Amino acid sequence: MINKNELKYIQSFAHKKHWAEESVFILEGPKMMEELMASEWVIRQAYATKEWIEAQPFKPHYVTEVADFELDKLTQLQKANQVLALVEKKQVNAPLNLKGKLTLLLDGIQDPGNLGTIIRTADWFGLEQIIVSADTASCYNPKVVQSTMGSILRVDVIVADLVELIESSKMPIYGAVLEGKSIQTTELAKEGILLIGNESKGIRSPLLALITHPITIPKYGAAESLNAAVATGIILAKWQH
């Protein structure tokens, strides 16, 4: 059973002002909960149906059993899915390590669905971190968390000054632009930085000036542009080729 204060608190996560300021974020569903329990992330509290609890080898101490109708009041989804957890946000304080890998930089990605898909795609291709500008959508936005399908638990999303980071790097800087060298004829170095820009405005001028390898995905049809998440996936596939 959940009390009124808990109910009101969790429902408040529907509003940005609340989830942005809190030290926890919401994660929902059996699959994501299974990955969460196997990870090192700290679970503050969880609420689950009797069905979910009975399917576990043991009942975790942080789980409160709730009825289906109660979970329906808590969920951020269209329909509740057995379990909801409050997870402590992670602070990544270690120095950024760019050596021996491709590092993805996002300049002003605004759409939560796009960011979530990019995180999930980065996870698919083996990236462990993404570095984003301060005005990129928050990785703890409930829509981002759900659209990562669990990849948020494996890929660190770090906010940094992108200009400063690139200027201090001696690596090749690949920038996804409309006027660049085709990725089909470009050999992407295993160690480097891939810069993806805002969905409508692209990469901002201060960063454009720092790109050493402008690259583009060849166009064969009439579409004006590619979705940022789709473009990221195509380029990462070429990088892992």
Residue 97, pLDDT score: 82
Determine the Cα–Cα distance for residues 218 and 11; give it in Å rounded to an integer. 45
Residue 86 φ/ψ, nearest 5 degrees = -100, 120
Domain of 200, in residue numbers: 102-239
pLDDT tens readout for residues 162-208: 999 999 988 999 999 988 999 999 988 889 999 999 988 999 999 99
First CA to last CA distance, the chain: 52
Tokens found for residue 50:
């009797």
Tokens found for residue 170:
């001696």
In a domain, 24, yes or no: yes
Across residues 28-52, what is the average pLDDT?
Answer: 95
* Sheet strands (E) in 23-92: 24-28, 43-48, 63-65, 83-88
In a domain, 47, yes or no: yes
Q: Are 215 and 181 in contact (CB under 8 A)?
A: yes
Residue 215, pLDDT score: 96
Give the pTM.
0.92
Which CATH number goes with the domain that contains 170? Answer: 3.40.1280.10
Q: Are 101 and 191 in contact (CB under 8 A)?
A: yes
In a domain, 95, yes or no: no
In a domain, 204, yes or no: yes
Percentage of the chain with pLDDT > 90? 77
pLDDT tens readout for residues 68-127: 999 999 998 888 999 999 999 987 766 788 888 999 999 999 999 999 999 999 999 999
Determine the Cα–Cα distance for residues 181 and 21; give it in Å rounded to an integer. 42
**pLDDT higher than 80, residue 1:** no
In a domain, 193, yes or no: yes
In a domain, 139, yes or no: yes
Co-location of 226 and 127 in the same domain = yes
In the DSSP assignment, the letter for residue 144 is H
Q: Are 107 and 204 in contact (CB under 8 A)?
A: yes
pLDDT tens readout for residues 4-16: 899 999 999 888 8
In a domain, 11, yes or no: yes
Strands 63-65, 213-216: pairing kind: unpaired
Residue 76, pLDDT score: 86
Total count of domains within the chain: 2
pLDDT tens readout for residues 144-155: 999 999 999 999
Closest CA to 118 of 148, 140, 159, 89: 148
Determine the Cα–Cα distance for residues 145 and 112; give it in Å rounded to an integer. 9
